[in-house]
Structure 1
Amino acid sequence: MSPKNILLYCLIFTGLFQSCGTDVQEKKPYNILFIAIDDLRPELGIYGNEIIKTPNLDAIGNSGTIFENHYVQVPTCGASRCSILTGMLPSSRAHLKNSAIEKMMADVPEGERPESFVHHLKRNGYYTVGIGKISHSIEGLVYGYEESPEGAKAEMPYSWDEMLFDAGKWGNGWNAFFGYADGSNRQGKKKQVKPYEAGDVSDEGYPDGLSTQLAIKKLRELADKEEPFFMGLGLFKPHLPFTSPKKYWDLYDRDEIPLSGSPDIPENIDLSSLQRNGEFNQYALGEEKASLEQPLSDEYARKLRHAYYAAVSYSDALVGKVMQELDELGLSDNTIVVVWGDHGWHLGDQRVWGKHTIFETALRSPLIIKVPGQEARRISSEMPVSSIDLYPTLMELTDIPTNFPLDGQSLMPLIKEGKDESREALAFSYFNNGISMRTDKYRLMKYFREETPKIELYDHVNDPLETKNIAAEQPELVEQLLVQLEKGDTGLYSKKNN
C-alpha cells in the first residue's frame, strides 16, 4: 500500500481507531433507561393479551428479552422498589412497608455499601437522573400525602445527580399522583372522587405526560454528555385512580373486555389470605364498594377493567414517545432499556380489587430487558425470575464490580443463551404475614398467623388461576416444597422488635 493510501485509510477510520495501529478506542459504556410503571400487570400484547393496545411496549419486548414469569418481592409500591433498588430480599417487617426506602436510606450516612444500584452506578461514572416515581416518593422527597414538600429530606440522598418532576397544575408530587384532569386530587376532595376518569385532555393533561416531556428534554441534554447516563422514568398509570385521556378509552369496545377468570374466593383458604379492598374503596364516589362477601356487578367490573386498559394504553403511548426520541438522538444502539412493573393488581381476581396479597396476580409483573446487539428472546414460565435479579444484571452489563453481597442473580445467561444451568426455578415474595414461593409448576404459601390453613399450595399446570388450595391433598409434595422455601426465609417474621 502506498503512503498516500495509508494516510487516506487513517483519515477514514479516525474515531474508530486511536491511531493507525491496532488499538481500538474504548467503547463508551452502555447508557441505561429504566422505565418503572406503577401497578402494571402483565396485561400487554407480548404477554398474550390480544385485546389490550400496547404497541410500543410490545416493540421493546419483540427486540429484547421478555421474562414471562417475573415476580416482585413485595406487592406494595415502596417495598417492591426497595427490593429492586437494593438487590436484597426483605429481612424485617420494615422492608414490607411503603416507607421501606425512607427508613433504609433517608437518614442514613453514606457508607461503603451503596444505598442502591443507582448510587453504585453514580459512584462508577454514571450521570444519574430520576423523573417521576422511581423510589416511593414522587419528587424523591419524604413527605405525607397531605403535607407540603417544602423542606422535605431526600428519600435516596446519594443516588441522584438530578431528581426531576413537573407537578403542573397539581402543585406537588402527591397531589399529582392522585390527580384528576381539572387539577384536583383525591386528598383535596376528601376522597369524594371516582376511581376512574376519561379526561378530555391531551397527553400532557395528566402528570405522566409532563414527566414524559421532561424525559425527552433531558435525553437531549444527556446525548451530549461524555459520561454514560442512567435515566429512571417512573410513570404513575395504571395506578389508581384509573385516569387517562379519553382517546385511550376510545380504543376499546367495553363489551369485548373480558372479566376475571377467577372471580371467586379460592377453595380451602381463610379470608385473611386476601385483602379487603381498602385502597380501592377510598374512592368514595365509585358506583359500588368492593368486598370479599359479594363480587362487583359484571357491568361495573367491566367498566373498571376498561379504565385500567385505557390507563395502560396511555402509559404505552408515552413510552413510545421516549423510545422515538432515543432513536432520533442516535442513542438506541448504546442504551439498555428496562421495563418493569412494580407489582401486579387484582382486577376482581379472587374477589380482590388491588394488590397486597401473595397470590400470583399481585406478584407477577412485566420485566423486559433490551440490550443492544443481543438476540430477542422469551424466557418461558418454566424459569421464574425476581426483581432482585436486575441489580447484578446491570452490574454485569456495565462491568462494574460489586464487593458486597446481593440476593439476586444475574439474568445475563438467560439474556445471552436463553438458559442458565446454575439458576434454580424459584422466586420468593413476602407480605400479609406470609412467604410465597413460585416454582416452575407450583406456588407454595406459608403464613405466620393464627388462622388456618397456614399452608396453601396451587398447581399452576392444572390451575393457573389459583382457584383451589390443594395443600391438604398433597402432603408429601408440601413437605418437599417447604424444604425449598427455607431458602427464602430471611427470618423477617421471626425476628423480635421488627
Structure 2
Amino acid sequence: MAPRNILIVMADQLTPFMVGCYGNPVVKTPHMDALAAQGVRFDAAYSNSPLCTPGRYAFMTGQYISRFGGWDNAAYLPSTVPTFAHYLRLMGYRTGLAGKMHFVGADQLHGFEERHTTDVYPADFGWVPDWRSPEKRIDLWYHNMSSVVQAGPASITNQLAYDDEVGAATLRAIYDAARTEDERPFCYVASFIHPHDPYAARPSYWDLYDDADIPMPHAPRPNAADNDPHSLRLEHAIALDAVDIDDADIRRARRAYMANVSYVDDWLGKLGAALVETGQADDTAILLVSDHGDMLGERGLWYKMTFREWACRIPMVLHVPGRAGQGVSIANPVSQVDVTPTLLQLAHEATGAPIPDAIDPLDGTSLLQFVDGTTQRDTTVAEYTAEGTGQAMLMLRDGSWKYICCPGDPDQLFDLASDPNEEINLADAAEQAPRMADFRARAQAHWDPADIHARVLDSQNRRRVLSAALRIGQHTGWDWQPKRDATQEYTRSHMDLTSHDITSRSPRPVPFKPKWS
C-alpha cells in the first residue's frame, strides 16, 4: 500500500551543485545522498522564480506567480488562492508547517492547520522594490557583500537559533503524529533557512572542511563589456564593487555555505531517524526541495535573482517507500509548480480520496508521471519580477536549451549540454534562428511583458503607500504568533494522570489493568 504520510524538507538558497548526490565530491551530505539512492533525483529542477517569496508561492500553489501577483519578497498571496495545504485538508490530511514560508499579509496559514514556529522574515510590505527607479539600491534590506567578507565560523546566529527551533518543532510533530489518536495522515513541511546567507556556520560543521578542499567558481566574473545587462544590474544591486574580495574571501564564504548545507543535511537525518524510531518511515513519503539556489561567486555573482543555473536550479528528491523509482534520476526539466500535483497524486494513491477539482488551473505536472513515464513533457518556465530589474524577465527551458528574455535586454540562448557554465550566448547564431523564433513565440504566448510591467508597478505603488501608512502610530504586525496552550501540556491536575501518560506514549505500552479496578 502506498505511504499515507508526507514530509517535505525545504532548504533555503540551496543549489544542487553543492549537494553530493548531484555530483559535488567535497560537500558532506550523507542523508540527502541516501534519500536520492532510495528515491528519485530530478536533475533539471528549477525555481519558478529565483527569490524566496515568489519561489515559495509557486511551490505552495502549483501556479506561476504572474497568475496571482506573487511578484517579490513583499508580495502577498491572496487568501482566495488555494494551496496544496487546502487541497490536502479536503482529502482528509492534517497539514502543518514549521519554519520559513515568507507569507506576506494577514493570512499566515494559507491552508495549514498548524504552524509551529513564527517566520524568520517579516510579513509586512516593507520589502517592496521600486521599478520607478530600478537602478536605486534600497540599502535597508538589499543584499550586500557583508556576507562574503564576514564569512566564517560562529557558535550562534539569528538563523541558527531559528533553524534549531524549526528542527525541534518538526521532531515534536513527528513524535506527536506517532502517538495521536487523530487517525488522519499528515503532510508536514519543515522549512529551514540555511544555507541562506549570511555565510556563518557552527564550528562543528565548519570543521568538517578544509580551505584547501573548497572548490572555487567554475566561471570567472566577465569584463563589463562582455557581460549581460541583468548581471551588471545585479552587480550593482548587491554592491559587488563596494568592497574588494579575493580568493580567500570566496573560499571562506563557500566553506561556510557548505558547512551549512551539512547542517541542513544533519536535520534531514534526524527527522528521518525519528520516522524510523516511531515506526512511520515506511508510511511516509519524503520530498527534499529548495526555493532557489545561490551563485556563490559564479560569474562574480552572489545570492540569487538571476536565471543563471547556480541561482535558478534547485535540488528536488522524492522518496516514496515501496514505489517504483529507487535510485532513479530524471533528466526532464521540472519545477516547483510540479509539487502540488505530485502531493495530490500521492494522497490519492495512499487514501483513495478523490483529488479535488482545482479552483485555479495548475501549471505543473505530477513528478510521479515522470517516474512512471506517463508524460513526455520536456519544458519548464520561470518568471522574475523583483529587485535588480525594472522589466518582466522570463526563462524557458526546453530539453538542454535555455532561453532568457527581458524587454530592453538582448535575448540569451544557451545549450546547457555543451555549455553548462552558460558562457556562449547563441541567440544571434544563424543556425539557431528557427529555435529562437520558436522560443520567442512561446514567450509571447506565455505573457505580455507590457501588461506585467503595468501590474507590477500598480502593485508596488499600492503596497508602498500602505506600508508607509502602517508605520505611523501604533504598530500591529501580521507576523505569525505561534499558539500554545500550556494548560493542556504535560501533566495537569484536571487530567487523568495514568490515562494521559499512556496516550502520550508511542508505541503504546501493554494495557494497565490493576486488580482493584
Please classify the TM superposition score into its range, dividing by the shorter chain length: 0.7 to 0.9
Which of residues 53, 56, 79 is equivalent to 1:78?
Answer: 53
Is 1:385 aligned to residue 331 of structure 2? Answer: no
Which of residues 80, 86, 107 is equivalent to 1:119?
Answer: 86
C-alpha distance in 2 between matches for 1:407 and 1:236: 26
CA, structure 1 residues 413+92, in 2 after alignment: closer, same or farther (shift >3 Å)? closer
SS at match of 1:261: coil
Is 1:468 aligned to residue 424 of structure 2? Answer: yes
Amino acid corresponding to residue 298 of structure 2 in structure 1 = D
Amino acid corresponding to residue 36 of structure 1 in structure 2 = M
Partner of 2:10: 36
Consecutive unaligned residues of structure 1, counting only runs of 5 or more, are 1-26, 143-152, 167-171, 176-185, 282-289
Matches within 5 A, 1:258-297: 258-265=215-222, 269-277=227-235, 290-291=240-241, 296-297=245-246
CA, structure 1 residues 279+322, in 2 after alignment: closer, same or farther (shift >3 Å)? farther
* 1:408-427 alpha-carbon deviations (Å, 9 max, x no partner): 11121222x3x34x332111
Is 1:255 aligned to residue 228 of structure 2? Answer: no
Q: Which has the higher contact order (CA 8 A, sep 6+)?
A: 2
* Contact 1:434–1:447 (8 Å) recurs in 2: yes
Q: Which moved more, 1:397-406 or 1:350-359?
A: 397-406
Partner of 2:441: 483
C-alpha distance in 2 between matches for 1:460 and 1:485: 19
* Contact 2:404–2:412 (8 Å) recurs in 1: yes
Is 1:326 aligned to residue 326 of structure 2? Answer: no
Which of residues 244, 251, 265 is equivalent to 1:302?
Answer: 251
SS at match of 2:70: helix
Percent sequence identity over aligned pairs? 27
Q: Which moved more, 1:86-95 or 1:223-232?
A: 86-95
C-alpha distance in 1 between matches for 2:86 and 2:42: 26
SS at match of 1:241: coil
SS at match of 1:60: helix
Partner of 2:395: 436
CA, structure 1 residues 195+429, in 2 after alignment: closer, same or farther (shift >3 Å)? farther
* Contact 1:199–1:246 (8 Å) recurs in 2: yes
Partner of 1:6: none
* Contact 1:92–1:492 (8 Å) recurs in 2: no
* Contact 2:381–2:395 (8 Å) recurs in 1: yes
CA, structure 1 residues 191+366, in 2 after alignment: closer, same or farther (shift >3 Å)? closer
SS at match of 2:69: helix
Is 1:164 aligned to residue 116 of structure 2? Answer: yes
Is 1:136 aligned to residue 102 of structure 2? Answer: yes
* Contact 1:277–1:354 (8 Å) recurs in 2: no
Which of residues 364, 389, 397 is equivalent to 1:408?
Answer: 364
C-alpha distance in 2 between matches for 1:322 and 1:52: 20
Which of residues 306, 324, 333 is equivalent to 1:357?
Answer: 306
* Contact 2:91–2:355 (8 Å) recurs in 1: no
Equivalences, count: 415
C-alpha distance in 2 between matches for 1:275 and 1:327: 48
Amino acid corresponding to residue 95 of structure 1 in structure 2 = G
Deviation at 1:279, TM superposition (A): 7.3
* Contact 1:47–1:68 (8 Å) recurs in 2: yes
CA, structure 1 residues 129+345, in 2 after alignment: closer, same or farther (shift >3 Å)? same
Consecutive unaligned residues of structure 2, counting only runs of 5 or more, are 123-139, 349-353, 457-517
Matches within 5 A, 1:112-261: 115-133=82-100, 135-137=101-103, 142=105, 153-156=106-109, 158-165=110-117, 173-174=120-121, 195-200=150-155, 206-224=161-179, 225-261=182-218
* Contact 1:54–1:312 (8 Å) recurs in 2: yes
SS at match of 1:95: coil
* Contact 1:268–1:468 (8 Å) recurs in 2: no
* 1:201-232 alpha-carbon deviations (Å, 9 max, x no partner): 69996321221111111211112331111111
SS at match of 1:494: helix
Q: Give the TM-score, by structure 2 length.
A: 0.74
CA, structure 1 residues 159+93, in 2 after alignment: closer, same or farther (shift >3 Å)? closer
Deviation at 1:388, TM superposition (A): 0.4
* Contact 2:40–2:330 (8 Å) recurs in 1: no
Please report the RMSD computed on the Cα atoms of aligned residues, expressed in angstroms: 2.9
Amino acid corresponding to residue 15 of structure 2 in structure 1 = R
CA, structure 1 residues 238+206, in 2 after alignment: closer, same or farther (shift >3 Å)? same
SS at match of 1:340: strand
C-alpha distance in 2 between matches for 1:242 and 1:58: 23
Amino acid corresponding to residue 117 of structure 2 in structure 1 = F
SS at match of 1:272: helix
Partner of 1:104: 77
* Contact 1:295–1:351 (8 Å) recurs in 2: no
C-alpha distance in 1 between matches for 2:159 and 2:63: 36
